């Protein structure tokens, strides 16, 4: 079963981006850690930012529902106009 991939991946480290943890620049998407490393390589908490991004991406990505896991959620129902 496929996974939901949220906001695409970072162009540098290929980690999944989540809401508020990325920057789009010249058609490429960068996670905040890679963007900070690019603009300020001597930043003190770069490893902490990278770990926080990985943790957020792990929480964001979820398996889609499948029939083996139980009933599928009830989606929009068709409407009879006649």
Would residue 49 count as lying in a domain?
Answer: yes
Q: What is the CATH classification number for the domain harbouring 54?
A: 2.10.110
- The Cα 68–Cα 46 span in angstroms is 41
| Domain annotation covers residue 75 | no
CB atoms near residue 61 (< 10 Å)? 13
- Burial of 57 by CB count in 10 Å (0-12 exposed, 13-18 middle, 19+ buried)? buried
Range of the domain at 17: 1-62
* Confidence tier at 60 by pLDDT (50, 70, 90): low
> Higher confidence at residue 18 or residue 60?
18
Cα–Cα distance, 8 to 17 (Å, whole number): 6
Domain count, the chain: 1
pLDDT at position 62, please?
55
Tens of pLDDT, residue by residue over 23-37, are 999 989 999 999 999
β pairing state of 28-31 and 22-25: antiparallel
Residue 44 has pLDDT above 50, yes or no: yes
The yes-or-no verdict on residue 19 having pLDDT over 90 is no
Phi-psi map region of 49: left, alpha, beta (phi>0 left; psi -120 to 50 alpha): alpha
């Amino acid at each position: 079963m496929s996974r939901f991939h949220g906001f695409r991946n970072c162009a540098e480290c290929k980690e999944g981006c989540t809401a508020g943890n990325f920057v789009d620049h010249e058609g490429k998407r960068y996670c905040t850690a890679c963007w900070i490393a690019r603009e300020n390589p001597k930043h003190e908490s770069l490893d902490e930012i990278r770990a926080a991004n990985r943790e957020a991406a792990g929480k964001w990505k979820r398996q889609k529902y499948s029939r083996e896991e139980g009933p599928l959620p009830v989606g929009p129902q068709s409407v009879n106009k006649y």
